[in-house]
Amino acid sequence: MPFVVGQIYNRVADIHGVYNGQQRSGIITPADTPVIFIVSGEEGRQHGYADRWRDDGVFEYFGQGQIGDMEMKSGNKAIVDSWSTGEAIHLFTSVPRGLRYDGEMIYERHHYEPAPDKNNDIRDAIVFELRRAGEVAINIDQIEPILPDAEVDLEELRRRAFEAAEPTPERVPAQRSVFARSQDVRDYVLARAGGECEHCRRPGPFVRANGSLYIECHHVHRLSDGGPDSPCNVIGVCPDCHRRAHFGIDRVEFNQLLIDDLRVIEPAARPRRRRAR
């Protein structure tokens, strides 16, 4: 089901009733749907979770683990792995009437900081730094894509894209922003498409300022097209195919066709991992 920013949802009916997933966790990772739900709220402070928005637009979200040092496993690992699995992260805030939907988020990096646990003992807490998907999309849309030339060929763009799609190493902060990494994936996918829709094979409908035919990027495992993914999960399509994938009456079936296309286009594609509920 689509979620509307600002709308209030019932956790049992609207999340678990539709997607299943862990019912007592702040990080919900359904086994059969490429999505991650994260829940924030004041009640988490009793367990040492101090989620907050920064002035630069980053949302700092505390990971799972009520007692002792937090570990990079389960829901925590799923957030980091969202770079390469294509799983969308959806943020909800607990309010008196239920869960308020605050939008899709993109994992940028994580850090560790000392914080009290449920027993008020100081431990290492994992803090995820997340950005709004729309903010990332707007940023990279304002920059013309790099085209392969004598100095930067398609294989070099591919290398950069897959490097950008790798999750942040344990305890090593990412050296490049989510914006720069998203741009690397976008540049490669558009260069791979070569001005032609990778589904219907029609040329882009007009010419960009840089001389290339206009093609858009579609993330086949996301509800929006906001952030970085593996090139295995991003396809270059014409505006007609892109709108159909989002708004067509057959959008679910059509999106599956795009997933099938990607398995041929990008042989490195790998199946999304399965997790127990």
The CATH number for 38's domain is: 2.30.280.10
In this prediction, residues 57-69 reach a mean pLDDT of 93
Asked if residue 29 belongs to a domain, the reply is yes
Please compute the mean of the pLDDT values over residues 141-150 and round it to a whole number: 80
Residue 113 above 90 pLDDT?
Answer: yes
End-of-domain residue from the set 97, 132, 167: 132
Does residue 107 surpass a pLDDT of 80? yes
Q: Please give the model's pTM, rounded to 2 decimal places.
A: 0.79
The amino acid present at 72, given as its one-letter code, is: M
In a domain, 46, yes or no: yes
Flag whether pLDDT at 217 surpasses 80: yes
Mean pLDDT of all residues belonging to the chain: 87
Q: What is the pLDDT of residue 276?
A: 37
pLDDT above 80: residue 132? yes
pLDDT bin (cut points 50, 70, 90) of residue 75 is very high
Q: What is the largest CA-CA distance in the chain?
A: 61
Q: What angle do CA 123, 124, 127 make, to 5 degrees?
A: 130
- d(CA 130, CA 217) in angstroms, rounded, equals 21
The pLDDT value recorded for residue 273 is 43
pLDDT-derived band at 268, boundaries 50, 70, 90: low
* Residue 110, token pair as written in the block: 């994580």
Alpha-carbon gap, residue 142 to 144, rounded angstroms? 7
Res 175: pLDDT: 61
User: Which structure tokens are listed for 269?
Assistant: 């594609």
Residues 140 and 232 in one domain: yes
Same domain, 148 and 62: no
Total count of domains within the chain = 2
Report whether 192 contacts 262 (CB < 8 A). no
Q: Which of 132, 158, 183 is the last residue of a domain?
A: 132
Query: What is the rounded distance in angstroms from the CA atom of residue 203 to the CA atom of residue 215?
Result: 8
Mean pLDDT of 186-211: 95
Query: What's the mean pLDDT in 21-31?
Result: 86
Does some domain include residue 66? yes
Q: How far apart are CA 237 and CA 246, in angstroms?
A: 12
Q: Specify the pLDDT at position 1.
A: 59
- The pLDDT value given to residue 271: 43
Question: Averaging pLDDT over each range in 31-40, 46-55, 92-101, which range is the top one?
Answer: 92-101
Compute φ and ψ for 135, nearest 5 degrees: -65, -40
Looking at residue 60, what is its pLDDT?
Answer: 97
Q: Are 181 and 219 in contact (CB under 8 A)?
A: no
Residue 218 has pLDDT above 50, yes or no: yes
pLDDT of residue 173: 55
Q: Are 266 and 185 in contact (CB under 8 A)?
A: no
Provide the pLDDT for residue 136: 86
In a shared domain, residues 142 and 257:
yes
| Structural domain that includes position 250 | 136-265
Q: Using an 8 Å Cβ cutoff, are 31 and 20 in contact?
A: yes
Angle at 274 between CA 269 and CA 277, to 5 degrees: 155
Is the CB of residue 259 less than 8 Å from the CB of residue 272? no
pLDDT for the residue numbered 172: 56
Mean pLDDT along residues 99-108? 93
Least confident of 94-98, 162-166, 235-239, 266-270: 266-270
With contact defined as beta carbons under 8 Å apart, do 151 and 143 qualify? no
Q: How confident is the model at residue 57 (pLDDT cuts 50, 70, 90)?
A: very high
Q: Which two tokens stand for residue 42?
A: 């004041």
* CA triple 247-190-37, angle to 5 deg: 50
Looking at residues 49-58, what average pLDDT do you find? 91
Q: Which of 132, 154, 170 is the last residue in one of the domains?
A: 132
